[in-house]
Each structure stands twice: as structure tokens, then as C-alpha cells.
Amino acid sequence: MTIAVGDKLPDVKLMKAGESGPEPVQTADYFAGKKVALFSVPGAFTPTCSAKHLPGFVDKAGDLKAKGIDEIACTAVNDAFVMGAWGKASGSSDITMLADGNADFAKAVDLVMDGSGFGMGTRGQRFSMVVNDGVVEQLNVEEPGTFEVSSAEHMLNQL
């Protein structure tokens, strides 16, 4: 069943690029005790993700934090090396890049998409959510092929 407002996030392992290689990040630990703006993209370095989705959160990071967001995180079904490189290419240390290389998180929240027609296999859908102490407060899931409700601007209007 798809995650919903009021649900606790499932505890799965994600990865992030560290100085000495990939580092595990348990969602239960990462989201505990803070308010996180999380957004998910189908893939790092893909057109809409790189031209609109990530740059919107980079540009609005200060505004989101001014409205009570403690951290901003991005997840995608990519490995930690790709997510780390994409984070560096974005020019912002305000966004924590969390790799969901095996789609474990996307599957656990039931927000997967089939990108096999584009040679991408199983991917996470485009969405955003506000997570407060591990509990989903806002959830914005895009219709296939759209980019509207998962933007930083939309999230700012919800806060």
C-alpha cells in the first residue's frame, strides 16, 4: 500500500557518498527528531530532474529552512557514486543525496515506476514529502510525465 500522510516511513537502508566511499543511512535514524523536506526523482542527471527539480530545491533551500525545515534530502534509484557526483554538480551542500540503488525505499513506500521503456528499469516516482520525526506530514506525488506538485515552490506553499 502506498505511503500516506500520517504514516511512519519504513526503515530501510539508503546510501550516501562519503569521503571514503558509500556510507549506509538507515531511514529510521536519518529522519528521527527533525523535519525533512524529501524529494524523489526518477534519475540523477536526467533532463527534468537536473533542469528543474533539483535546482528548485537548491534555490529555495533557505526559504524552506526559514519555514521550519531542518534538512533537505533527495533520493533516486541510482548508486551513491552517481548521487554524490550529481550533488557536487548541483553546487549545493544544502541537499543530502540519498541513493536508493536497489529501489528498496521506493518499493517500501510503494512509489515505484517502470522505466524499462527508456532502459532505466525500476525507478522511484517523482514525488516530494515533508517528514516530521519519521512521520509523513505532506505527500505530493506527480502524475506520470508531469512536474508540478513535487516542486520546492509547491512545498513552500504547503508550509
Residues marked as catalytic: 49
Q: Where are the beta strands (DSSP E) in 11-144?
A: 13-18, 21-26, 35-40, 71-76, 95-99, 112-114, 122-124, 127-132, 135-141
Sign of the Cα torsion 84, 11, 30, 134 reads positive
The Cα–Cα gap between 24 and 85 comes to 17
DSSP structural state of residue 42 = S
